[in-house]
Chain A
């Protein structure tokens, strides 16, 4: 019996013992085909999924390599059925290929006739295909390229897309690396993406995803459409691009609710893209407004369904997805794979932390014991109100006050979901409150003051979940959230992970009402980060002292 670091489970998860001498080597070998699912301190869990295996095939690995890796590093005998299954699954990729024929344009070609016959009989796939040219080839309507790939993935015969990309309208973009330089992993991410053509790069919050985007633009040397979550985020992208690249103010347009500029580099918000008038999406023309050479999707885990649909139509353009957590609470990872592209780069949070690019963080769950009156109120609340009642108690606000007091002088964010709670906290802490109702200019002014240190406390709603760049924030206190959302928790932690000028670690508090739904949701929310190796400490509110 060998003594490898890897244990293969019957549910196709792989357990990697981190302290094993071969662990690093094994991680390298496993990463191309298995999805890192959990990375707590001792044993990391990878999952072998069809998507992962096809990803590996797309990246040029074959079944032989995968099986060899499993056999080489496995501590116990690997079930034969699993190996067979791996080989079988991987052999399904690439039996169908999308290629450009000089005569017929886009065609679907099969190296295995039986597969082609099967999919021609599939009711979901057949309508996207045109005339049959010969035994192996069938015409594809160019507009169906994305839908076809999606549908083929669902029937289990993922197509290899060899049809290539249009170059788009050329536009010179260069990185200006003065006073900073592209980090190793950022370079790796760009290389991985470019080699694959299209795909998703997964990096922790604060690890510089914007710079990966900028570097990709510099590689593409073409007009670029950037889709982001909201206007504030759009402006941050703009200022970052101005700072890091040769692009000038005039070359970058903002396409949002407020402005509709179309420039060589255009930053649009998801919100404006999904605006409807009389049931029709009125801004989707933007995709055709220029001959874009690159499309960047920021926070791809939030990509709204209409944008997915439209993305299916622009499969001949290079697409780059950026995210910190490819956890979609709606389970549409398959659509991301087939429409944006496979995952091209991924790195555990703790690895980046070890390299010093993101700050270490102490995560603390503060359990608050409610007063008897509050418990009664909670116990008698309607089921749909229970979480709100539990999460917004006055006792919690007092604990928050003590925590803020304890970190007096440090820049502190208080993050919550319920407006009345936020307003109350704003009063209690004497801090400005930013919510969806706050004007963009007002938001930017407050963020700016916070960045400069004129303001040390901010109370924010979930508008600040994403893409808000507040480098010096070092304390975040979460008081309520969108129920048990794992990615929201990760994004909120991400707000304080920028390395601090003074060094030192960030503090992330979650204030939770004991014995309520609040506590249950908190446990679920913490799973993603716990699985990334962030160890939460649980303390009783009574133990929180203001001196600390």
Chain B
């Protein structure tokens, strides 16, 4: 297709340097976008806001403000991002037609069925990128700016040659055998008229030498601008010149002062046989799908989900014991990443996904103190206590909404530095939108089939051509892999829990996942090589107990535990007795307990605790046992909490200075020993970062709920009426004043009918203001209403409302009825 990426709307934010000159003479538009919006029904307005949620943040004051925002550059770019190839092509075609365009003209220009064009036009109209009737289509000016080279065509020759002096036009007129013309504007008109004749152009092109034709073709199949030194120099036709310069002489290219040449639109169209999109195909590409065993999809996804949840647990347990340091620039060092990858037996990108998901779910955070490193948060402890399906939902949701691309880890940035995991470098605000688009697409694949990664990428490129490219294809590729690892998909097809989660129903997703997870077991198999095999996931308390007395050797569908002296000792340290361990083994093993294992437990227990270690802050040493006995017996030393360790040694809980002081006060004569040899043992049980909110999930503004949309539309209408209400000049400071019962009645009626009203209000500081509110409830002495100026719902105390005035469409009527006078001048 001629409308290549990089031209037309394909290139993001490419703004034309100057305005589109050739529409200067455009007829005055009969209507404005504001008028058009005003004529729309509430449902239509709600749909516009739903399709372009950025317009509701915040809700504009009135319809004029809405129209202005809808036609702004930023919002228009966002709206274009959501359009597919077909709609974008139609929009590009509109910019090629003189205003006002019509559906018929568009269909003719594109050579496409009117119905196809019409549906695209409808879509554009719904989102306010077009307005007006089918034969009077209007376009916001910003769209013309954005479509720099619509369909890859250059500007019309009249625009391209604008400002060229008569001296440079003369050789062109001569070359075509036209009469000379001293006035540049008239000369320009003559040139334009000549090129506007398709017959004349065709003749020119047919006779063109091959090398010149090649230059034209190149400019016609991409950006219609090329570089040429001295492009704006004198125009002449010399056969010894290079082809581009000869084309300048023929007037088929136009040189510009910035050393570029441009292919005029007329020439481009002629080269394409008169159609801007010569081989146009407006239908979406076939999604490449292949069959997949539907039964295996769920079980594979369930397996992956189990594994992923286990990996996050394993990772955070390990990091809780040995937190890796945080890089000064944020994130995790490459060496730490590798170490963790080895620990979990994963590749680096896989580990990055586990890390990033845990981080996005708020289970992992850098400790408050920069030296603390990356630590599990208290939220992790709560997460760990949840059911497996619930745990998975937390992780999968975090992945869906994280504005980051973990898939970048392992590749290098433009400066050839590796992307560190958990660093800001991975932030990509568009990621959640893209993920949602990918999952939506997977969700459309019929059961029993799966989309191929290339098919997904191709279809996405068609659905959202803006932003498409190798970088996005890579991101999509890693998202597909990640979805598989998380268990949102199984064998490449969207599984039921993933489908429900993507549809925004986490509770149902958890329910759907449960049957896919293997049932927890209550037993293990013990073997003489001192291993225990759990042939499936274990009940949490059994897993915890085994984890305490044996070390995990391999994980997956099953878990292999190995009993060693160290692991048994760890169990004893954790408070299990030899009898507890033997009981555990006997009751939870399907197989008899092997003799070497019971021997091991007893042997370790026999030696356990022969050395006792305790904490003392100070010690007292004295060769005279009697003297120590006296110290111990003294009532004045009880505060030191002395304990006899050996006949000649006492330990004190109190610190050395205090011990010295108390002993001296009690009449003894102690001296302090150097600190050498003193041992203070403390070990924090579990290290955790301070609880803090999960990192922000930006990028994907929540889809506005219908109630919100209705309220927003009401507010817009109210604002519109408010701004349309012509108010009589009133003395400054006048507020609506009505009696309290009249106030109440009017407010209640307004709340019932959903009408906006003007109120006068005195706030707690005593300052008075007036505002337009849309009351939603009036009770208990308070009015709750939407304040259209502040764009938020507020609560007003009834007794502070000085008066109410209904807003009338006809200002004269309001005046005649003697309604209170209103001003907005007071409100800040």
Contact = CB atoms under 8 A, between A and B. Distances in A.
A535 B594 contact: yes
A11 B554 contact: yes
B531 A7 contact: no
Contacts of B300: 77-78, 80
A535 B528 contact: yes
Interface string B582-620: 000000000100111001000100010000000000000
B530 A530 contact: yes
A10 B594 CA distance: 27
Contact of A41 (B527, B535, B596, B603): B527
A9 B555 contact: yes
B663 interface: no
Interface stretch (B120-128, B302-310, B368-376, B762-770): B302-310
A515 interface: yes
B307 A79 contact: yes
Contacts of A17: 525, 535
B299 A77 contact: yes
Interface residues of A, number: 35
B518 A10 contact: no
Interface stretch (B189-197, B214-222, B556-564, B812-820): B556-564
B596 A537 contact: yes
A236 interface: no
Contact of A15 (B302, B303, B304, B533): B533
Nearest to B533: A43
A13 interface: yes
Contact of B558 (A15, A534, A537): A15
A9 B535 contact: no
Given A41-B591, A77-B303, A538-B599, A530 B345 contact: no
A13 B531 CA distance: 15
Given A7-B535, A43-B527, A538-B596, A80 B304 contact: yes
Q: Which among B484, B485, B525, B591 has the highest number of chain A CB atoms within 10 Å? A: B525
Given A1-B299, A10-B555, A75 B528 contact: no
A481 to B, nearest CB: 18
Given A15-B558, A15-B560, A77-B302, A530 B529 contact: yes
Nearest to B558: A7
A78 B484 CA distance: 12
B536 interface: yes
A41 B593 CA distance: 12
A43 B535 contact: yes
Nearest to B487: A77
A305 B304 CA distance: 45
B491 interface: yes
Given A7-B558, A11-B556, A538-B595, A76 B518 contact: yes
Interface string B473-493: 000000000001100001100
A306 B764 CA distance: 97
A56 B533 CA distance: 28
A365 B528 CA distance: 13
Interface string B303-332: 110010000000000000000000000000
Residue among B350, B485, B528, B595 facing the most chain A CB atoms (10 A cut-off): B528
A319 interface: no
Contact of A9 (B299, B518, B560, B595): B560
Contacts of B490: 77
Contacts of A1: 299, 518
B525 A43 contact: yes
Interface in A490-548: 514-515, 527, 530-531, 533-538
B295 to A, nearest CB: 10
B296 interface: yes
Nearest to A534: B528
B27 to A, nearest CB: 62
A230 B528 CA distance: 35
B557 A7 contact: yes
A318 interface: no
B533 A42 contact: yes
Contacts of B304: 77, 79-80
Question: In the complex, which of the residues A9, A38, A527 has the most CB atoms of chain B within 10 Å of its own CB atom?
Answer: A9
Contacts of B560: 9, 13, 15, 45
A77 B555 contact: no
Interface string B500-539: 0000000000000000001000000111111101011000
Q: Which of A38, A43, A535 has the most CB of B within 10 A?
A: A43
A153 interface: no
B674 to A, nearest CB: 28
Contact of A531 (B529, B556, B603): B529
Nearest to A38: B529
A8 interface: yes
A89 B490 CA distance: 22
Interface in A17-46: 17, 38, 40-43, 45
A10 B556 contact: yes
A535 B560 CA distance: 18
A266 interface: no
A435 B596 CA distance: 33
Highest count of chain B CB atoms <10 Å: which of A42, A81, A365: A42
Contacts of B533: 15, 42-43
Contacts of B558: 7, 9, 15
Contacts of A43: 525, 527, 531, 533, 535
Interface in A89-139: none
Contacts of B535: 7, 15, 17, 43, 75
A431 to B, nearest CB: 30
Interface in A145-168: none
A7 B556 contact: yes
B51 to A, nearest CB: 37
A328 B421 CA distance: 38
A80 B491 contact: yes
Given A1-B518, A11-B556, A538-B596, A42 B525 contact: yes
Interface in A179-201: none
B556 A40 contact: no
A74 interface: yes
Nearest to A75: B557
Contact of A40 (B484, B528, B536): B528
A10 B307 contact: yes
B591 A42 contact: yes
A9 B554 contact: yes
A74 B299 CA distance: 12
Contacts of A81: 350, 485
Nearest to A5: B535
Tell me which of B302, B530, B535 has the highest count of chain A C-beta atoms within 10 A of its own C-beta.
B535
A74 B555 CA distance: 15
A522 to B, nearest CB: 11
B527 A74 contact: no
Nearest to A515: B607
A531 B530 CA distance: 10
Contacts of A79: 303-304, 307, 556
A415 to B, nearest CB: 21
B497 to A, nearest CB: 14
Interface in A316-366: 365
A76 B531 contact: no
Nearest to B297: A77
Given A11-B556, A535-B528, A538-B595, 14 more contacts: A7-B536, A8-B557, A11-B554, A42-B591, A74-B557, A75-B536, A76-B518, A77-B296, A77-B490, A77-B557, A80-B491, A533-B528, A536-B528, A538-B599
14 contacts: A7-B535, A9-B555, A9-B558, A10-B554, A11-B345, A42-B527, A42-B591, A43-B531, A79-B303, A80-B491, A527-B529, A530-B528, A536-B596, A537-B596
- Top-9 shortest CB links A-B: A77-B303, A9-B556, A76-B557, A530-B529, A535-B528, A40-B527, A10-B556, A7-B558, A7-B557
Interface of B: 296, 299-300, 302-304, 307, 345, 350, 484-485, 490-491, 518, 525-531, 533, 535-536, 554-558, 560, 591, 594-596, 599, 603, 607
